[in-house]
Structure 1
Amino acid sequence: PRCSVGDFECPYARPGDPETCFQPSKLCDGNVDCPGGADEHCPTGCGTPVNKPILSTKTGERIVGGIDARPHSWPWQISMLSNGRHNCGGSIIDHHWVVTAAHCCTSGPSTYKVRVGEHDIVDGQGEVNAWTYDVERVIQHPLYQGREQHDDICLLKTVLPIFFNDDVFPVCLGSGTPPEVGTDCFTTGWGSQRQVISPPRMGEEDEAEVLQKEEDSKQDRVPNILQQVDLKVVDQAECARVYGSHSRPITITPDMICGENPGKDSCQGDSGGPFVCMSRGNSSIWELVGVVSWGYGCASPGIPGVYARTSHFLDWIAETIYND
């Protein structure tokens, strides 16, 4: 049957399953409406993957200096599709909400889709919990001003609530207490694996162009498999000194946090993705400390990557979700 207005087809329907219409308000209401009870698999909490990540610090030729992630070990990671192509990353924080970078959010909701539960973004057909959600709202931070880089955060609201399962689960936003300098944290994504020494990495258009060139030339520097890399939190004053003394100086503002590890970094295509650290109060819980934002080059020697500091935006995130 065709779904009526306000109803949607259940995610994760298998071949042969009858089409089932689902009302979003019925998620986790105690009554099974979707095949396999997908709408009633309602784990609580956040930041606790069923498939624990392998916390390797070895170096490979990935994400710049990272390694293949264990499948579905970072279950909040999403691929933000722009006109059907991977453009940016993002992090699930709620059944309806994803955090990404403001510079990834330059168009209206119809341009974007949120792909969840994916490990291989090219050949993920066997990934039973992969699903694509339409976007209802795209909300840039009101103070974001493009090339000035500050307030580089955006919220996406999905039309249908995101169904949680072993491969799809939210990350914790954490508290306002920042991680200590030197803390080992991780960033993940499907971005470029090429070390870039000079040009800045910023802007959705720049990323789309880089990814298009990579694909067109059939180079192997944009991965199919989700990558992870370990980075250490950098002292804010030191990060400000590095960027302030650069030939193209830029100010590191309080809403930013920096991460670095020699030869390792996030890069084009990773923007909007998670920068996560273990909770200071519970090492089994992962908290979203930053959102991949910008930097001069990728893994440029002595130049940290810069992330939107999520603790700075906790009030804005809470107010936006509450008021929507």
Structure 2
Amino acid sequence: MRRWCYALAVVLVAHGSLIRAENATAAAEEQKPCKCVPYYTCPEVDASDERNKNDESIQCENFLEVCCKSPHSVSRRQLAPSRPSMKKGCGYRNPYGVGASGRRVTDNEARFGEFPWVVAVMTSEKPAQGGHSSTQTENTSKCGGSLIHPKVVLTGAHCVSGKEANQVKIRAGEWNILDDDEPIAAQERYVERIVAHEDFNGGNLFNDVALLVLSKSVNPAENIGFACLPDQEYSPAPGAWCYATGWGKDVSDDENRSQGILKKIGVPVVANPDCQDALRNTILGKHFKLHQSFMCAGGEEGKDACKGDGGNPLLCPLPEKQEVFVQSGIVAWGIGCGKDETPGVYASVAFFRNWIDEEMHRLQLDTSYYSYSRNLGISRNIKS
């Protein structure tokens, strides 16, 4: 009996210690300002605006998590996080990304879903017999492009020069090409037809534009939208601030490595005569002439598109509607990357607008997806 009483006392003491330990742990948890949880489970996060109430001083290991305060501290009506609404019309940028950004990005990195029409263009060295490229070779990210219709991507002709359609696929809604762990999955589509400009010159990249017709439509989503294209011959004013995008080499990386996260580089538009003068001061020489199918942007040291960015869009905000971006250029070529006073060269989308419309009509596809004048009720009478 005495032994039984002693054992019972030990059990009670141990149980009491366990309860005290649990209470202490709970109290410690209560003292913490927040805890790391997936961003979409945090009731304090407004998914349409990253400026939320979570504690930004605490870093979470997973970039899709945020440090969230205890749900007990919020009202019941806050328990379901809001989701960003899909904007109607082309060219709408998501300046704070889609959902709360649990991963901190640098100044030159885009947020997840910030430019929802930018797509990765993947190629392989040779097509598989009787079908699409093999899984061993198909995931080479060579270029980028922009979604202008559920079945059409606009890119640079040099990106797909010498390729068969079954050697190319695109990935819409992509953000980090090195990691699939993203809030919303990207959508991959194979290309069934390549429509390159008939006057494309692979030596000097004149008329560097192509349409990729997809085998299956892309489904619009929070991270997938459509680019706006400028009217024929309409260009942003010199000095206008735009974004060059892409997954290519970082200007500051001497090891020639491509970016994992989609980058965005702020660059000013440069008038073609000034661009030509700047390029004549390079190895191109004093007799160089800039072709009419090009436009220029950049010229600030350390800020430029670079190797691997080809085909990606140069995006400029509409002066009268700053939240809407128009694709003014397609990354084409440059002298070095980010050289001081040497602009980058882009295929001018405005120069090719009529060609794009004509090819879309031949394909019997709707052009309204990329028309900002029809989508947004904005008319253009200015030519530059």
TM-score by length of 1: 0.73
Instruction: Specify the SS of the correspondent of 1:155.
Output: strand
1:225, 1:42 → 2: CA distance? 23
Deviation at 1:175, TM superposition (A): 2.1
Deviation at 1:42, TM superposition (A): 8.6
One-letter code aligned to 1:251: K
Q: Does 1:303 align with 2:342?
A: yes
1:194, 1:73 → 2: CA distance? 21
Displaced runs of 4 or more, over 6 A: none
> Which structure has the higher relative contact order (CA within 8 Å, separation 6+)?
1
1:291, 1:161 → 2: CA distance? 23
Q: Deviations over 1:234-277 (max 9, x none)?
A: 12111111223433244212211100133200011110001010
2:213, 2:276 → 1: CA distance? 33
Instruction: Specify the SS of the correspondent of 1:79.
Output: strand
In the alignment, which residue of structure 2 is the partner of 1:284?
A: 323
One-letter code aligned to 1:169: G
One-letter code aligned to 2:160: C
Instruction: Specify the SS of the correspondent of 1:284.
Output: strand
Alignment check: 8 A CA contact 1:273 1:291 kept: yes
Matching residue within 95, 99, 108 for 2:164: 108
1:259, 1:49 → 2: CA distance? 20
Q: Does 1:145 align with 2:201?
A: yes
Q: Does 1:255 align with 2:299?
A: no
Q: Does 1:98 align with 2:149?
A: no
Q: Deviations over 1:148-176 (max 9, x none)?
A: 22111111111101111110001100223
RMSD of aligned Cα (Å): 2.3
2:193, 2:280 → 1: CA distance? 36
Q: Does 1:235 align with 2:271?
A: yes
Q: Deviations over 1:108-145 (max 9, x none)?
A: 11111001111111112334230110101111111111
In the alignment, which residue of structure 2 is the partner of 1:86?
A: 141
TM-score by length of 2: 0.62
Q: Does 1:180 align with 2:237?
A: yes
Alignment check: 8 A CA contact 1:51 1:166 kept: no
One-letter code aligned to 1:173: L
One-letter code aligned to 2:295: I
Q: Does 1:192 align with 2:249?
A: yes
Alignment check: 8 A CA contact 2:251 2:302 kept: no
Instruction: Specify the SS of the correspondent of 2:149.
Output: coil
One-letter code aligned to 1:139: V
Aligned residues: 254
Q: Deviations over 1:49-76 (max 9, x none)?
A: 345469xxxxxx98xxx61111110111
Alignment check: 8 A CA contact 1:275 1:290 kept: yes
Alignment check: 8 A CA contact 1:117 1:130 kept: yes
Instruction: Specify the SS of the correspondent of 1:288.
Output: strand
Change (3 A) 1:255 1:273: same
Which structure: larger Rg?
2
Alignment check: 8 A CA contact 1:121 1:225 kept: yes
* Structure 1 unaligned spans of 5+: 1-40, 55-60, 197-213
Change (3 A) 1:145 1:313: same
Q: Does 1:265 align with 2:304?
A: yes
- Correspondence list, 1:5-24, <5 A: none
